[in-house]
Amino acid sequence: MSQAEATVPRRSLALSNDVLSVFYRLLAVGIICVVLSFISDAFLTTNNLLNVLRQASLVFFMASGLTLVILTGKIDLSIGATVGLSACVAATVIKATDSAMLGALVGIGVGAIVGLGNGLLVTKLRIPSFIATYGMLWVVHGITYYYMSGQSVYGFPAEFRAIGSGYFLGIPIPIYLMILFLLAGNFFTKRTTYGQQIYAIGANTVAARLSGIPVNSRLNLVFILSGAMAGLASLIYLARLNSAEGDIGETLTLPTIAAVVIGGTSLFGGVGSLFGTFIGGLILTLILNGMNLLGVSANWQPLITGLIVLLAVWLDMKTRSKTDASS
């Protein structure tokens, strides 16, 4: 080994790339904050910053589950629809039983079941995940609409609403939840064999299978987790909005994918991290927040988001192709 090190003094590019990718993104967060604090007095206030973090947390719950799916090289397009169904079912359960806890469990459970459905479509029926979860999106929307039949459910007990709009020590509760899930998710991906296997499946599914990794059961697992996290996100929305309607999650899927991609997770699988996704969600939220503070019309916001996604992917490709050329 010492001989090899002498001839090729450079350090592993694979690792430094990951670190660099997160570093660049933290840098971007810093620059955005500095710029916004100069052009808007309202930005650097405790209230606004906590608001940004709370918004980011909503993105993060969905994006963290989706990150696991994308790390395996698959996609889950049904998460927005799942948020809708979970929220509506949880809402009726809470109304009927007056138990926030039971409602929360059912909400997460509904998400997990939709996720299992996605997983089985992909692993048993061998339908490409893009198609399987796209079909699931409509199925779940359909069920939600049928279930709600145009009604809405509103008015939940205070103890339940606290998880969306409550504070602890002056900080919104969703932020604590985000930190908790970020740490847990990071541990899961980096410090368990499941996480290692998820990365390996995304890097080369065939090789992973031929290395004895139970690929199908891991794929089912990530789809279930993605659905369950959508279920969790639905509870926070529900608690904040204090009302559930059939179309509650409809617009959430694409921004969630944007957060994952901005965070540096490759849609081809095998590369990325939950921490990256956290920062990706933060960047996305900061920019939307900045545009709101500056009074930029909401009509412009999708355009800006799209440009940022393209920029992030392009920069990632540039840094990766640099390492390829040196091989």
Partner 1 sequence: MVTLTPSAPTESPVHQAAGGAPLLELRGISKTFPGVRALDDVSFPIWAGEIHMLCGENGAGKSSLMKVLCGAYVADAGEMFHNGGKIEIKSTLDARKLGIAVIFQEFSLIPYLSVAQNIFLGREFPGRIPGTIDRQKIRSEAARFLAMIGSDIDVDTPVHKLGVAQQQMVEIAKALSQNARVLVMDEPTSALSDTETEHLFGMMRRLKANGVAIVYISHRMAEVFLLGDRITILRDGKKVDTVLPNETSVSDLVQKMVGRKVDTIHRRGDNMKAGELALEVKGLNAPSGIADINLNVRAGEIVGLCGLVGSGRTEVARAIFGADRISSGQVTFFGKPFSGGPDEATRLGVGLIPESRKAQGLALIRSVGDNIVLAALDRLFPSRLFQPRTARKAADDMIQKLRIATPSARRAAQFLSGGNQQKVVVGKWLTADARLFIFDEPTRGIDVGAKAEVFALMYDLVEKGAAILMISSELSEIVNVCDRAYVMREGRIAGELPRDRLAEENILQLGMHHE
Residues near partner 1 (CB under 8 A) are 1, 4-5, 7-15, 190-197, 199-200, 203-204, 206-214, 270-271, 323, 325-327
Indicate the residue among 299 and 326 with the shorter CB distance to partner 1: 326
Distance CA 94, CA 89 (A): 9
Quick one: which H or E segment has residue 251?
Answer: none
Looking at the Cβ atoms of 13 and 175, the one nearer to partner 1 is: 13
Q: How far is the CB of 10 from partner 1 (least distance, A)?
A: 6
C-beta of 272: minimal distance to partner 1 in Å?
Answer: 11
With respect to partner 1, which residue has the nearer C-beta, 8 or 303? 8
Taken in order 183, 257, 109, 237, the sign of the CA dihedral is: positive
In angstroms, give the least distance from the CB of 75 to partner 1: 19
Place of tokens 């003094």: 9
State both tokens at 147: 């279930």
Give which of 177, 259, 284, 214 is closest to 185, Cα–Cα.
177
Q: Which amino acid is present at 314?
A: W
Answer whether 196's CB lies under 8 Å from 208's CB.
no
| Residue among 74, 62, 130 at smallest CA distance from 281 | 62
Judged by beta carbon, residue 1 or residue 303, the one nearer partner 1 is 1
Rounded to a whole number of angstroms, the minimum distance from the CB of residue 326 to partner 1 is 5
Q: How far is the CB of 276 from partner 1 (least distance, A)?
A: 16
Cβ closest to partner 1, residue 5 vs residue 98: 5
* Distance (Å) of CA 122 to CA 23, 74, 103, 195, 215: 35, 9, 29, 20, 11
CB of 318 to partner 1, least distance (A): 16
Residue 5: enclosing H or E segment and its boundaries? helix 2-7
Q: Is the Cα torsion angle 60, 64, 66, 67 positive or negative in sign? A: positive
Dig out the tokens for 127 from the structure: 């339908």
Nearer to partner 1, 161 or 320 (CB): 320
The CA-atom distances, in angstroms, between 190 and each of 221, 238, 274 are 16, 31, 10
Phi, psi of 153 (to 5 degrees): -115, 130
Q: Minimum Å distance from CB 18 to partner 1?
A: 10
Nearer to partner 1, 151 or 211 (CB): 211
